[in-house]
Structure 1
Amino acid sequence: MLLKAFSIMALLLIGGVHIRAQQTPLTGRQTPLEQAFADAKREFVNFEKAHGHFVTTKNGRMHYLTWGNPAALPLVWSHGSLTNALELLPLAAGLVKAGYYVIAIDYYGHGQTPIPAHEVSLHHVADDIKVMLDELKIKKAVIGGWSRGGMISTAFYDAYPDRVAGLILEDGGSVSTNTHYHSMKPIQLTTRIGAIFKDRLPDTTYKSEFEAYRAYYDTTQKGNQFELLAWIAPTKEGRWAISPGVLELFNMHTPEQFLDNILYPTRVPLFAESMSILEPKIIFRNLSVPVLILDPTGPDDLFPFETRNAALQQAHPSLIDHKVYPNTGHNIHYERPEQFLKDVATFMAKVKSHNRLK
């Protein structure tokens, strides 16, 4: 099921348990899809009972999932744009087997974590993670993430370096995000942004949770696909959508907004600004923890930063491992799960040695 979910997310944006009370209006006998929806609702509740948690911070209630033994080495994972903590579900068992206690968060507007009424930034998410670690009585953790989640991980290291045992940056957080765009001439940049928005799915809403579920249900796969319910949420207008409000948070509803994020970051909302101004070269100038950079390369590379990642590794050769994944798209852990698990498991030995852990 996650194949279709991640495909949807890529098209939407390239760059107590909150179970809804609304029920599908069923008349007579249930169709197979209506039955799958009912089963999905039940499985979602049971899954949350086993793995779901909330922590209250000054920015609201942050939802997170856990897998494994709390006595193991903690790995805190921040997801990419328009996905959520469940992006790690297919990998959780493998990470636990490797020896990690896995903690995957939902940040603002994703999964079950709402967007605060006040302005927030990547560093506000870092603050929320710190509160969660305090509540869990975790002194240090491996902090990692994919894409925008990698940026959050770098922001966390910037704010709380003494709470970091190691960093895992999957195609995000190791190089300033607009570096490639700033190398383009104006006409190249506008053409590139136009191409990104041309391939987007429309920002569609639905009158019921079931209709949204039906729209994104992958008919080529089996099962109730309960994970879809983590993507679907009510809008302010009482309809249903995928991660409503996130494009406003990112200031990426239109090509013009995207261009403003790149060229005029101090003019845009704070969360979007924080993504544009994060500068890893400054944050890592006095790097003191092991870092694993997972770097996909290929003809359609979204962030062609291989040379810059290699330069960062050369600046800190004893601390940074730079793993290149040839002919791989932006989402390494989805496209190359076995290699991802192998590299993350191998990284644990370096983290334990550096931190003198058994």
Structure 2
Amino acid sequence: MSTIAVKAARLRSGLVLPYAQAGGPQGVPVVFVHGLADSWWTFEPLLRRLPAALHGYAPTQRGHGDAERPPHGYGPEDFAGDLVEFLDAAGIRRTVLAGVSSGGVAARLVAGSHPDRVAGLVLAGVPATLADKPGARALAKRVRRLGDPVPRAFVEELLSGLTARPLGRGLLATLADENLKVPARVWRETVRGLLETDLAATLRGILVPTLVLWGDADALLPRADQQRILDAVPGARLLVYGGAGHVLHQEAPERFVQDVAAFAAAVLPVRQDGDAPGAGRDAAP
């Protein structure tokens, strides 16, 4: 089992984001990007399983978890900008970005705009578009009515609809607690940003190697939605998780880690000089 260290990164903007770090210091850098209302804790099951061949980072995005909560800036472009600044703050020259759910939107924006920083892109349970998803519009309607404190019943209902396989009670309780840290205004602004952004356009211009992971029991994303990603991104490859729902990294963490590790080894091989691939000399230990 890998040891998880929790640190904080101060971005150029002055924003401070907590992040978890695990795996081997000389391993291939992989930055995991969470989705709506989550924090680095959503990756806890897989961070503990990281092999020495991977050096994993999982930042908590602005407004989420224990990160700072600026009054504005919760659109996909804002999260993407923070992600680039996080790479700088952590001393990561080049990395594999692994985005899950809506976190994959920020990840693919960075992959398209900063291909020099991204060796490969993993999109796990990430929507190609939300324009044709009635569930997204229904969520936006509910979120607009939210007030503080956000009701626990609301969060628990959302979490229960993400999985096809049962998760441990302890993990579910932690995920709910982390979701409840997100103020109602951040829920509203983040959902609004996703719905007002042309998500299909964010798939254009991605030229880095891309791996698409999808569970065939995902109640939110049909196979046709994932095919749009494959059609839009040259050379993108799909791996299907049979019987898994929307949150693959929680339902099948062992396989998820294996697939990411194999992909990372192919796109950013370990260097022979002993230096961590993609890591700057000033990278966090």
TM-score bracket, normalised by the shorter chain, equals 0.7 to 0.9
**Equivalence for 1:328:** 244
Q: Is residue 297 of structure 1 aligned with residue 213 of structure 2?
A: no
Residue 193 of structure 1 and its aligned partner are, at CA, apart by 8.1
Greater share of helix residues, 1 or 2?
1
Q: Is residue 340 of structure 1 aligned with residue 245 of structure 2?
A: no
Q: Is residue 287 of structure 1 aligned with residue 206 of structure 2?
A: yes
Q: Secondary structure at the match of 1:135?
A: helix
Q: In the alignment, which of 81, 84, 96 is matched to residue 39 of structure 2?
A: 84
Report the TM-score when normalising by structure 2: 0.73
Q: Is residue 95 of structure 1 aligned with residue 59 of structure 2?
A: no
Q: Secondary structure at the match of 1:343?
A: helix
Q: In the alignment, which of 123, 127, 132 is matched to residue 169 of structure 1?
A: 123
Aligned counterparts of 2:140 and 2:84: Cα–Cα separation in 1: 35
CA gap 1:169/1:85 in 2 versus in 1, 3 angstroms: same
> Are the aligned partners of 1:64 and 1:103 in contact in 2 as well (CA < 8 Å)?
yes
CA gap 1:60/1:230 in 2 versus in 1, 3 angstroms: farther
Aligned counterparts of 1:229 and 1:320: Cα–Cα separation in 2: 31
Aligned counterparts of 1:196 and 1:118: Cα–Cα separation in 2: 17
**Equivalence for 1:178:** 131
> Are the aligned partners of 1:84 and 1:230 in contact in 2 as well (CA < 8 Å)?
no
Aligned counterparts of 1:54 and 1:230: Cα–Cα separation in 2: 24
Residue 75 of structure 1 and its aligned partner are, at CA, apart by 0.8
> Are the aligned partners of 1:83 and 1:231 in contact in 2 as well (CA < 8 Å)?
no
CA gap 1:277/1:124 in 2 versus in 1, 3 angstroms: same
Aligned counterparts of 1:321 and 1:128: Cα–Cα separation in 2: 27
Residue 106 of structure 1 and its aligned partner are, at CA, apart by 0.5
**Equivalence for 2:159:** none
Aligned counterparts of 1:314 and 1:229: Cα–Cα separation in 2: 33
User: Identical aligned pairs, as a percentage?
Assistant: 25
Q: Secondary structure at the match of 1:179?
A: coil
Tell me which of the two structures has the higher relative contact order, counting C-alpha pairs closer than 8 angstroms and 6 or more residues apart: 2
Deviations 1:253-310 (A, max 9, x none): xxxxxxxxxxxxxxxx4x4343124445433333321111111222x61122x12423
Amino acid at match of 1:283: T
CA gap 1:312/1:133 in 2 versus in 1, 3 angstroms: closer
**Equivalence for 2:27:** 72
CA gap 1:289/1:250 in 2 versus in 1, 3 angstroms: same
Q: Which runs of 4+ in 1 moved over 6 A?
A: 192-197
Q: In the alignment, which of 41, 51, 67 is matched to residue 6 of structure 2?
A: 51
CA gap 1:194/1:105 in 2 versus in 1, 3 angstroms: closer
Residue 243 of structure 1 and its aligned partner are, at CA, apart by 1.6
> Are the aligned partners of 1:178 and 1:276 in contact in 2 as well (CA < 8 Å)?
yes
Q: Secondary structure at the match of 2:268?
A: helix
Equivalenced residues, count: 251
Q: In the alignment, which of 178, 186, 202 is matched to residue 249 of structure 1?
A: 186
Q: Is residue 62 of structure 1 aligned with residue 9 of structure 2?
A: no
CA gap 1:90/1:249 in 2 versus in 1, 3 angstroms: same
Deviations 1:145-199 (A, max 9, x none): 21121122122224323211111111115x01233339x9xxxx76x989999xx
Aligned counterparts of 1:73 and 1:322: Cα–Cα separation in 2: 22
Amino acid at match of 2:261: A
Report the TM-score when normalising by structure 1: 0.59
Residue segments in structure 1 that go unaligned for 5+ positions in a row: 1-46, 206-219, 233-240, 252-268
Aligned counterparts of 2:115 and 2:26: Cα–Cα separation in 1: 21
Aligned counterparts of 1:229 and 1:172: Cα–Cα separation in 2: 19
Residue 54 of structure 1 and its aligned partner are, at CA, apart by 2.7
Q: Is residue 307 of structure 1 aligned with residue 233 of structure 2?
A: no
Q: Is residue 109 of structure 1 aligned with residue 63 of structure 2?
A: yes
